[in-house]
Amino acid sequence: MKVGSVATFKTRHMRAAVRLAAAACVACLSAIVAFAPKPAGASGTRGAAARFACSGPNSSKVPCHFSTPSGNIRCLWTPHPNNVACELRASGRAYRLRPTGRAKAIKLTLARRGQTLPRNQQIVFPHSLSCHDTRTTMTCNQDFGTGEFKLAPKGSHSS
């Protein structure tokens, strides 16, 4: 056997191994994409864009009403003055949070339910404010500050 033929034999097997590894990677990525969960708020129809609350054209300039999936907490974000205010409907307890300072207890009645958030969605507003919901609770905080509030049927608080 010649030395050149041994090198050609090893090169052919190496190329085949690389092709096999590439095919395996493509198959794995295809499976991941096919079975990946849809983003929160995505509809079941094909080709439909995901719909997130308080997003869209001019969303940073227009007030936004939103609520928890159960509807027991209603919130309003306003761009001027920049703040988030939420009300627990059963008790009437309400808090307001601005980008600086602490959350403040306020009197608030929101008659409009607004957009219903999917469970466990986080909404990020301009100037470092964000809110996160579960089915029956809403937590809003300053992303780079210490102010926050949590509204829940049991255990609401602010700081």
Q: What is the pLDDT along the chain (159 residues), one digit of tens a residue?
A: 555 555 555 666 667 666 665 555 445 444 454 444 444 444 333 443 445 778 888 888 999 999 999 999 999 999 999 999 999 999 999 999 999 999 999 999 999 889 999 888 899 998 899 999 999 999 999 998 899 999 999 999 999
CB 47 within 8 A of CB 38: no
Q: Is the same domain home to 83 and 128?
A: yes
Q: Which residue, 156, 111, 159, 112, is CA-closest to 137?
A: 156
What pLDDT shows up at residue 12?
67
d(CA 149, CA 145): 12
Range of the domain at 141: 64-153
What pLDDT shows up at residue 5?
53
What pLDDT shows up at residue 41?
40
For the full predicted model, state whether its pTM sits above 0.95.
no
Q: Is the same domain home to 30 and 76?
A: no
What pLDDT shows up at residue 44?
39
Q: Is the same domain home to 28 and 74?
A: no
Number of domains in the chain: 2
What pLDDT shows up at residue 24?
55
Q: Is the same domain home to 27 and 82?
A: no
Amino acid, res. 19: R
Amino acid, res. 128: S
Q: Is the same domain home to 70 and 24?
A: no
Please state, as a whole number, how many other Cβ atoms lie within 10 Å of the Cβ of residue 99.
18
Q: Is the same domain home to 77 and 134?
A: yes
